[in-house]
Amino acid sequence: MTNLSILILIPLLTALAVLMGRNAIQIRFVALIGSVIQLLAGIALLFSYLAERAAGNTAQMLFEYRCSWYSALNIEYYVGVDGISIAMILLTAVVVVAGILISWNMQTLNKEFFFLIVLLSLGAYGFFISLDLFTLFFFLELAVIPKYLLIGIWGSGNKEYSAMKLALMLMGGSALVLVGILATYFNTNIGNGVHTFDLIKISQISIPVQTQMYIFPLLFVGFGVFTALFPFHTWAPDGHSSAPTAASMFLAGISMKLGGYGCLRVATYLMPEAAHQYSWVIVLLATAAIIYGAFATLMQKDLKYMNAYSSVSHCGFVLLGIGMLTKTAIIGAVIQMVSHGLMTALFFGSIGMLYERTHTRQVAQLGGLLKTLPFLSTVFIIAGLCSLGLPGFSGFVAEMTVFMGAWQRPELFNRIATILACASIVVTAVYILRAAGKSVMGPIANEQFKNVTDARWTEKLASILLIVAILSIGFAPFWIIDLIDVDTQLIMENIGRGLSSN
Amino acid sequence: MGIEFFILMKSEWALMLIIFILLIIKVNGTYQDNAKLLLFTNILLALNFMLGFVSNQSGMLFNSMFHTNSLIAFEKNILNFATLIISLQAYTWLKNHKHMLEYYMLLLTTLLGMFFMISSGNFLMFYLGLELSAIPLAALVNFDLDKLKSSEAAMKMVLLSAFASGIMLFGISMIYGTTGSLNFAELPALITGSHLQILTLIFIFTGFAFKLSVVPFHLWTADVYEGAPVSITAYLSVVSKAAIVFVLISTLSPLFAGLTTVWYNILFISIILTIIVGNLFAIRQQNIKRFLAFSSIAQVGFILLAISAGTALSNTAAIFFLIVYTLSNLGVFGVIALVSDETGKENIDDYKGFYKTNPALGWVIALSLFSLAGIPPTAGFFGKMFLITAGASKGSYILVGIAALNMVVSLYYYLKIVKTVFIDPNEEPIVPIKTNMYLKLSLGVCMIGIVITGFTSGLYDYIYLLFRL
């Protein structure tokens, strides 16, 4: 029997060990070893999950563990995983390892830096395995403040403004989530006036549609803020571009996924009737985010801003998939979450590595990097190609699945939204090819670029790790689809309940 | 009057004993060394705190004027604990102060007043306790006699506090006029909701609101907090508020059950005003004590949110939060007291670059402020969550929504301080400060409390148990 609490325990012990570390080398290695152990634990979890499913275990959640926490309010520490959570846990583990490798040479306050990164990952792991809404909310909020400190202390540019904006907008989102969760809680009378935060139990209670119509927007918008739901996306470009490299990787790679996961697992899953009613709003906002993000990217001159806006666009696909409420679209949304997490981490990582050497992120000032930095430039181009959805990379699989799922909705409105979203890929191709062409190809723009050195071993390792993960989804999408298929089916059964009652 | 007389009033007797020991030392005038005497006093206070855990019986005295039970004993012990922490933190300030003993005598007298107030079973006793706690406090605010600001603060406090007591006493007199009784046990049946009784409720609530600095009765708070010595500011913001909250819990919903709609509506408006005004003014403050004054005003709004529900669960949430609030607030005040005593700096801007020179104290500030802001994994998160849950149990989501959004506003100004401490550069940061044993002990207790109280549900369950006894 696998004990899931170990996924929280490993980062916790790592964080404490980092605090004990005496010098920079110790701290780095402790952080790296801790995160690699966590990655191995994630992979072990994947295999034991597949083994359980192969053995015919059809329970919705596996490896459940529950114990009473605050019994007076019926708050439990209740964890369990399905394929979707495992995909998210693996994503988190990969990105954290890569992030720690890339920040290997962090000089200032490195103990605090690695401590906060590990603490942040702790919040994400806890969030993905929680099945109790209170615990889930606890971990969601746990993952906010470390971001503020990471951006505020180690960031660049207008960092204080960006950090504050990010923290306040995310906390605003979580305030909405809080009200939504409490409203849900007080609508779950399970006898004798006792209420429950238990996600699975709530999904079996039918909350009146009228009430759902109030609660669903709170939950969806609240989580939506985390995943840069249009028009609450404005924290994302500023936050990403001011953050230090590892923090941007984490922010775009994992934090935005907390929102997507919450929209799916909490908002849509618990309020299926309302999800159907509001489907058009979600589709509208998601399409707006996709198009707006793509065009805004065209206008950017700074590579980090470029990737940040394209993240808004890509996360739009996640929401589009969820909003369409068909099984294929939701599978696409989950794959897009994983794919975007890996790809954007690689993209931010390569931008950070280039910046460390050239000291500029302005596309206009870059040029000819392939000649002096062959490895890093290749990584940069791979990230770009994945971002524009080239077949063979994970982005293609994810976006294609979302489109196929979206097209299953026959209404004219949804069709138009799908077509518009598809069209945005062309825009993506324009900005990626333009940026990559200008900065990597052509003559060397600056004499100083000739004196730079290519990637160190840690950076190579990080890039290769992410690229392998991207390619393994791109070339063999079936394993991840198999992983999440059963669980999406179970979610769909709940959502279908909403459809039939309409 | 047997042994019971001593056991039921043991907390009061213990305090009086300490006061008299200190008084005798003072009158003798033979002591030389403040440091030794402070050690002795702190040991006495620690013993007093430990005494609070043993033999807590229920019972009544003086013809039901005074009553006690394990919940009341627990509440008193919270106050004992906070006083002990404050006393430990005052070491730097008091070790060279020539009126050190007077400080303790006045401080413990106010505490004694609060104990009588919490234990009161009759409005007369309650009023007696209230006054006993209010007047020495004004003297304490003016404890640094050479500071003009302190005198101004003390004057403001005396006048306004007397005015508030007057209004309250007027309300109490009307209770007697309409019901013919002042006994808490008899009143619930007699308060049925006549117009004069509604007025009574308003007058009495005004008295409470003044002490708790609920908007619009908060105007004295910032000036008094700024003028008073840091240790007294801490006492005002923690102990004095906690005592009133305890009384509010045991009077408002039990006594005025016949007027539930009225006091709920009063609270509804007060909560919204208090949270919003407290937050908005806190943003603009330059002086860290004024800043904490407004932030504590906003915190009281959240406590009232729980009290408005009036159930055992919501009262548990309120008391649990008060403990967390005590730990977090005293964490900040400990650092501020030290910095103020060592360097005389009290402005927020002075704390720029503080983390570089005093990393450990910087973390203390950050953890405490995160706890006040309700950020996990600190206990403040749990405290705030339970308060808001308690508020939601009443079903008023407007109130809950406003409170939740105001948590975001409050995060803004708490983060501003964290930013000042951690991020802002400074040419002349506060020099590295050596902490003494007492301060280390007090901050250590606060920090461990902030981390542990939330994760372990033991304390919460215990309070809930006390309410159901």
- Helix, strand or coil for residue A19? helix
What pLDDT was estimated at residue B302?
A: 92
Chain A contact for B377 (CB, 8 A cutoff): yes
> A72–B405: do the CB atoms touch at under 8 Å?
no
The ipTM, to two decimals, is 0.90
Among candidate residues B384, B222, B386, the one with its CA nearest the CA of residue B295 = B222
Could you tell me the residue range of the domain that residue A62 belongs to?
6-501
Low-confidence ranges of chain A (pLDDT < 50): 501-502
Domain count, chain B: 1
State phi, psi for A393 to the nearest 5 degrees.
Answer: -105, 165
What pLDDT was estimated at residue A502?
A: 45
> A160–B397: do the CB atoms touch at under 8 Å?
no
User: In this complex, which of A72, A141, A168 lies closest to B412 when CB atoms are compared?
Assistant: A168
Mark B112-143 as b/e (b = at least 16 C-beta within 10 Å): bbbbbbbbbbbbebbbbbbbbbbbbbbbbbbb
What pLDDT was estimated at residue B298?
A: 92
What pLDDT was estimated at residue A499?
A: 61
Chain A contact for B401 (CB, 8 A cutoff): yes
A411 lies in a domain? yes
**Cβ(A33)–Cβ(A114) under 8 Å?**
no
State phi, psi for B61 to the nearest 5 degrees.
Answer: -135, 165
To the nearest whole angstrom, how far is the Cα of A463 from the nearest Cα of chain B? 31
> B460–A72: do the CB atoms touch at under 8 Å?
yes
Residues of A in contact with B464 (CB under 8 A): 72
> A70–B408: do the CB atoms touch at under 8 Å?
no
Residues of B in contact with A148 (CB under 8 A): 415, 418
Q: Is A156 exposed, middle or buried (0-12, 13-18, 19+ CB in 10 A)?
A: middle
> B408–A72: do the CB atoms touch at under 8 Å?
no
> B404–A176: do the CB atoms touch at under 8 Å?
yes
Assign 3-class secondary structure to chain B: CCHHHHHHCHHHHHHHHHHHHHHHHHHHCCCCCHHHHHHHHHHHHHHHHHHCCCCCCCEEECCCCEEECHHHHHHHHHHHHHHHHHHHHCHHHHCCCCCHHHHHHHHHHHHHHHHHHHHECEHHHHHHHHHHHHHHHHHHHCCCCCCHHHHHHHHHHHHHHHHHHHHHHHHHHHHHHHHCCCECCCHHHHCCCCHHHHHHHHHHHHHHHHHHCCCCCCHHHHHHHHHCCHHHHHHHHHHHHHHHHHHHHHHHHHHCHHHHHHHHHHHHHHHHHHHHHHHHHHHCCCEHHHHHHHHHHHHHHHHHHHHCCCCHHHHHHHHHHHHHHHHHHHHHHHHHHHHHHHHCCCEHHHHCCHHHHCHHHHHHHHHHHHHHHCCCCCHHHHHHHHHHHHHHHCCCHHHHHHHHHHHHHHHHHHHHHHHHHHCCCCCCCCCCCCCCHHHHHHHHHHHHHHHHHHHCCHHHHHHHHHHHC
A385 lies in a domain? yes
Q: Which residue from A minimizes the CA distance to B380?
A: A138
Residues of B in contact with A145 (CB under 8 A): 370, 375
> B404–A73: do the CB atoms touch at under 8 Å?
no
In chain A, how many H helices and how many E strands? Answer: 22, 2
Q: Which amino acid is at A358?
A: T
To the nearest whole angstrom, how far is the Cα of B199 from the nearest Cα of chain A? 34
State phi, psi for A302 to the nearest 5 degrees.
Answer: -95, 130
Residue B427 burial (CB count, 10 A)? 6
> B313–A183: do the CB atoms touch at under 8 Å?
no
- Helix, strand or coil for residue A84? helix
* Contact residues, chain A to chain B, C-beta under 8 Å: 69-73, 134, 137-139, 141-142, 144-145, 148-149, 152-153, 160, 163-164, 167-168, 171-172, 175-176, 178-179, 182-183, 185-186
Asked if the bond preceding A208 is cis, omega within 30° of 0, the reply is no
Per DSSP, A65 falls in state: E
- Per the DSSP assignment, residues forming a β-bridge with A302 are A362
Residue with tokens 């002795």: B40
To the nearest whole angstrom, how far is the Cα of B71 from the nearest Cα of chain A? 17
> A168–B381: do the CB atoms touch at under 8 Å?
no
Could you tell me the residue range of the domain that residue B420 belongs to?
3-468
Chain A contact for B359 (CB, 8 A cutoff): no
Q: How many inter-chain contacts (A to B, CB under 8 Å) are there?
A: 78
Distances (CA, A) of A357 to A315, A395, A436: 30, 28, 17
Domain count, chain A: 1
User: In this complex, which of B313, B400, B464 lies closest to A179 when CB atoms are compared?
Assistant: B400
Residues of B in contact with A179 (CB under 8 A): 392, 397, 400-401, 404
**The dihedral sign for the CA sequence B294, B296, B300, B303:** positive
> B392–A186: do the CB atoms touch at under 8 Å?
yes
> A73–B386: do the CB atoms touch at under 8 Å?
yes
User: In this complex, which of A72, A142, A144 lies closest to B461 when CB atoms are compared?
Assistant: A72
Per DSSP, A361 falls in state: -
> B423–A160: do the CB atoms touch at under 8 Å?
yes
To the nearest whole angstrom, how far is the Cα of B3 from the nearest Cα of chain A? 37
DSSP string, A89-140: HHHHHHHHHHHHHHTTT--TTHHHHHHHHHHHHHHHHHHHHB-BHHHHHHHH
Q: Terminal CA-to-CA distance of chain A, rounded, Å? A: 41
Measured CA to CA, the distance from residue A428 to residue A388 in angstroms comes to: 6
User: In this complex, which of A69, A144, A176 lies closest to B457 when CB atoms are compared?
Assistant: A69
Distances (CA, A) of A488 to A56, A336, B117: 17, 14, 60
**Cβ(B392)–Cβ(B400) under 8 Å?**
yes
Chain A contact for B188 (CB, 8 A cutoff): no
**Cβ(A250)–Cβ(A93) under 8 Å?**
no
- Per the DSSP assignment, residues forming a β-bridge with B66 are B61, B120
- Per the DSSP assignment, residues forming a β-bridge with A62 are A81
**Cβ(A173)–Cβ(A221) under 8 Å?**
yes
Q: Which residue from B minimizes the CA distance to A70?
A: B457
**Cβ(B57)–Cβ(B7) under 8 Å?**
yes
User: In this complex, which of B316, B392, B408 lies closest to A172 when CB atoms are compared?
Assistant: B408
Q: Which residue from B minimizes the CA distance to A119?
A: B377
How does pLDDT run along chain B (469 residues), one tens digit per residue?
Answer: 577 788 888 888 899 999 999 999 888 877 778 888 888 889 989 988 988 888 777 888 888 888 888 899 999 999 999 999 999 999 888 888 888 888 999 999 999 999 999 999 889 999 999 999 988 998 899 888 888 888 889 998 999 889 999 999 999 999 898 988 888 888 888 888 788 889 989 999 999 999 898 988 888 888 899 889 899 999 999 999 999 999 999 888 888 888 888 888 999 999 999 999 999 999 888 999 999 999 999 999 999 999 988 888 889 999 999 999 999 999 999 999 999 888 888 888 888 888 888 888 999 999 999 999 988 889 999 999 999 998 888 878 888 889 988 999 999 999 989 888 888 888 888 888 888 889 999 999 999 999 998 888 888 888 898 888 7
User: In this complex, which of B376, B393, B418 lies closest to A142 when CB atoms are compared?
Assistant: B376
State phi, psi for B67 to the nearest 5 degrees.
Answer: -135, 155
**Cβ(A302)–Cβ(A364) under 8 Å?**
no
Measured CA to CA, the distance from residue B450 to residue B461 in angstroms comes to: 17
A1 lies in a domain? no
Which two structure tokens, joined as six digits, stand for B404? Answer: 């939740």
Measured CA to CA, the distance from residue A175 to residue A259 in angstroms comes to: 13
- Helix, strand or coil for residue A282? helix
Most A CBs within 10 Å, among B283, B316, B354, B385, to test the A interface: B385
Chain A contact for B411 (CB, 8 A cutoff): yes
- Per the DSSP assignment, residues forming a β-bridge with A362 are A302
Residues of A in contact with B422 (CB under 8 A): 149, 152-153
To the nearest whole angstrom, how far is the Cα of A475 from the nearest Cα of chain B? 40
Mark B227-257 as b/e (b = at least 16 C-beta within 10 Å): bbbbbbbbbbbbbbbbbbbbbbbbbbbebbe
User: In this complex, which of A70, A148, A160 lies closest to B460 when CB atoms are compared?
Assistant: A70
Which two structure tokens, joined as six digits, stand for A73? Answer: 């309010």
Q: Which residue from A minimizes the CA distance to B468?
A: A72
**The dihedral sign for the CA sequence A16, A19, A22, A23:** positive
State phi, psi for B60 to the nearest 5 degrees.
Answer: -130, 155
> A138–B395: do the CB atoms touch at under 8 Å?
no
Measured CA to CA, the distance from residue A18 to residue B325 in angstroms comes to: 29
Which two structure tokens, joined as six digits, stand for B89? Answer: 């933190």
For B437, half-sphere exposure in the C-beta direction (CA atoms, 13 angstrom radius) is 5
A335 lies in a domain? yes
Measured CA to CA, the distance from residue A62 to residue A48 in angstroms comes to: 10
User: In this complex, which of B313, B401, B411 lies closest to A167 when CB atoms are compared?
Assistant: B411
